[in-house]
A and B are shown apart, each in its own frame.
Chain A
């Protein structure tokens, strides 16, 4: 029998349709390996029948998939011995159809996507929260800095005031300790018997300082005014500041060329060119 006759005998169709017994099948397979024409023809027949079968494809009824796969799994688990124990080929089987990981694999893609979505959202929220925290901290720090700068400024101005004060006190101290100054004690007149004050007078520099020990507060709108009496004539030596009246510090008065006595009167605010003798409060002679 030549190859063409063999092909036309219909045995390949029988083979493909599963009609042959084992011996006949083995013979066909041997022919197919030996003769490429037989092999090609057999493949054509099989492809044609596959296509015919495939053309009859039917979508299985709903719910069947779950039942069939569940039963299939139960079946292969209850009879594991039925699979020929061939260690060499076992991994191949596992690789193709791992019963449990397969459904998981089908869901990996969507779950991976949703996982990365969740991760992205979580990171975004985390970053937003961190931003809020850092923003608050930054604001706090800015506030703290402003407060510190204010404090520093006020400290500096306090320092300046203190320095100024110190300079002033040092001058006062210098006046008080200086031997060039003559002290003139002014005592209260009958109008104000408790009133006490001192005038420090430097005849060389003509400087006059007033140191109030005790004076009644002047009526409102009135001011104390110091007078130097030179040859019986009163000379204006300036009005007293409120701090001086309260006895806080020395006050430098107008320079006086020469004087034999000093006196204070109560005058209208701003002072007056001539003393109102009736209001004389203290008087002292050198």
Chain B
């Protein structure tokens, strides 16, 4: 598990932290994730996807559960989007080499795409919730989300 931690903790912690936005909560969630990964490892099916996908989804789901269960959800919904984006921005540490990839991705995504992908990926929003939040037709949200993911897919290819 030490090796596992060394390999995945930064990626998992990064995602969890972006979702819950608090260090102590992120630590709790990371730990819960490890326990859950340990206990449900039998249900991991290699044919359904990469181990990292599976592990990342467990962490992400736990983190989203966390912000839904607490008042996070309410708060972030009542917050203007700009503010929550600013909050995310503040959470990012100063320049790190591992974020070169992030800068490149952010540059390639247009602001609308980034906003939607962030809400979906880190905000725990569903596509229809995003549509509601941004006062956009669901179709537009779906299109932008697909476009954003296409851009990312092209970047890593």
A residues near B, CB below 8 A? 8-10, 13-14, 16-19, 29, 43-61, 64-65, 67-69, 71-73, 75-76, 82-84, 86, 89-90, 92-93, 96-97, 99, 102-103, 105-106
Contact = CB atoms under 8 A, between A and B. Distances in A.
B152 A52 contact: yes
29 contacts: A10-B127, A13-B120, A13-B146, A18-B60, A18-B61, A48-B149, A48-B150, A50-B56, A53-B14, A54-B101, A55-B98, A55-B99, A57-B10, A57-B13, A57-B14, A59-B10, A67-B31, A68-B30, A69-B34, A72-B1, A72-B34, A72-B38, A76-B38, A83-B38, A89-B42, A93-B38, A93-B42, A96-B41, A106-B3
Contacts of B121: 17, 49, 52-53
Contacts of A51: 101, 105, 152, 155-156
A102 B3 CA distance: 7
Interface of B: 1-5, 9-11, 13-15, 17-18, 23, 27, 30-31, 34-35, 38-39, 41-42, 48-50, 52-53, 56-57, 60-61, 64, 93, 96, 98-99, 101-102, 105, 117, 120-122, 126-127, 142, 145-146, 149-150, 152-153, 155-156
Nearest to A107: B2
A-B CB proximity, top 4 nearest: A48-B152, A10-B142, A58-B14, A55-B102
A102 B4 CA distance: 10
Q: Is the interface of B mostly helix, strand, loop or mixed?
A: helix
A162 B18 CA distance: 112
Given A49-B149, A52-B152, A17 B42 contact: no
A97 B56 contact: no
